[in-house]
Every structure is written in C-alpha cells, then in structure tokens.
Amino acid sequence: MIDPQYIKNIIPQAYQQELENSLYRLPFYYTESIGYNQNSPKTSGIKYLDNIGLSHSLIDNNQIQSDYWSLFKPILYFFNEKTKVNVLKVVRARLRLTVQHPEKEKYLFNKPHTDLPDFKQPYKTLIVYLNQSDGDTFIFNKFYNEKEDYSEVLKDLDKKIILRQKPIRGDGIYFEGHQYHSGNTPTQHKSRYLINFDFTI
C-alpha cells in the first residue's frame, strides 16, 4: 500500500506543450458520467455532481485502442525516472476532458469512484494534468469493497479527504487504484484535460 503522492513536473516542459497541442486534434467521445460505473446511491448525505464528460481511450484491457498511444506512452518513462516505479502492465489508459457545468457551484466534487472496480488484483492509478486549469482532484481515505453499498461509501466522505490538488500542467497524483477519488469541474477555465493510467507494478 502506498500513500497518495503529488508529483511535480512529471512531464518535461517542452513535451507538455507538445501534448497539450495534440489534444485539440484528437477525437473525444461523449461519456454520460465521468464517475465510471459505480452505481448511484438511493440515499446519501453527500451531494455530488455526476457530470458528463468526454474521453479518448488509449488502452483498454491491456490492448492498445488508439494510434495516439505512442504520443502519450513516454509519460510513463518520465514517471519512472521521477519515482523509480516500474510499470508492469498498463490495464487502461484514458484521456479525459471535463468542461464547465452551470450548477457546479452547488457541489464540492464530482462522483467519487474507483477506475476498475471489477479488477481483482492490486493496481495503481496515475493522473497527470495536461493543461493549466482548475477543478481540484480529491483523494479519499476510503477503499473499494464489492460488498459495500455505494450509499455507505458516501457517508461522511467529505470528512475523509486526504489530498486535494489543483490541476497544474505536467504534474500528477499517484495512488492506490482501489482508493476512491474524484475529479472536479472547472469554473475558471473552459476545459480540464488529464490522462489517467491504471497499471500493475
């Protein structure tokens, strides 16, 4: 088990600009919920924004899905240089685009989730920000349990925030894959781009 780690300057400055420029020519696809596939609770004390979003799949089930994978793959090499963490297998890699929402001010965060709730092995998650934006990332002191109802997960979750980070281009957050986390919708910027890696080590 690792504690969530905020890592500065994973991506070199020149490469940051190249990646950000590429985002504007990539196809992104509509996603009904940016909270992945955790079931919504019938009742809970936490109000979250189950916002729509856009995504571009690079790898899914350890299979390359996009011709653009080679452009983003070097991020993992830079991550290894920074942390000495050896990535064994990339289970999923996905680009995410979140845009402004008119009711964002009513909510603290978007839908808390884990990326791969059905993945039985331990895995790690790495989020890397690809543009300068707002819309904080939240990491919670709560882990996925398939026997636990989602309404129980949300109970007092706002008191279990152990890391909150504003998006800074080139920086990232590394944490346990089965740990609940949430993105947030930008209010000061039109868009929030990041790449999300789920992998074994």
What confidence score (pLDDT) does residue 43 get? 41
Q: What is the distance of C-alpha 200 from the center of its chain?
A: 16
Q: What is the mean pLDDT of each run of 10 residues along the chain (201 residues)?
A: 95 94 92 52 51 86 96 97 97 92 62 90 97 94 91 86 96 97 88 96 96
Measured in residues, the chain has a length of 201
What confidence score (pLDDT) does residue 129 get? 97
What confidence score (pLDDT) does residue 101 get? 66
DSSP 129-195: E-S-----EEEEEEE--TTS-HHHHHTTGGG-EEEEE---TT-EEEEETTEEEE----SSSSEEEEE
> What is the dotted CATH code of the domain comprising 5-200?
2.60.120.620
What confidence score (pLDDT) does residue 103 get? 58
What confidence score (pLDDT) does residue 158 get? 84
d(CA 160, CA 149): 17
d(CA 142, CA 144): 7
d(CA 31, CA 180): 20
What confidence score (pLDDT) does residue 49 get? 54
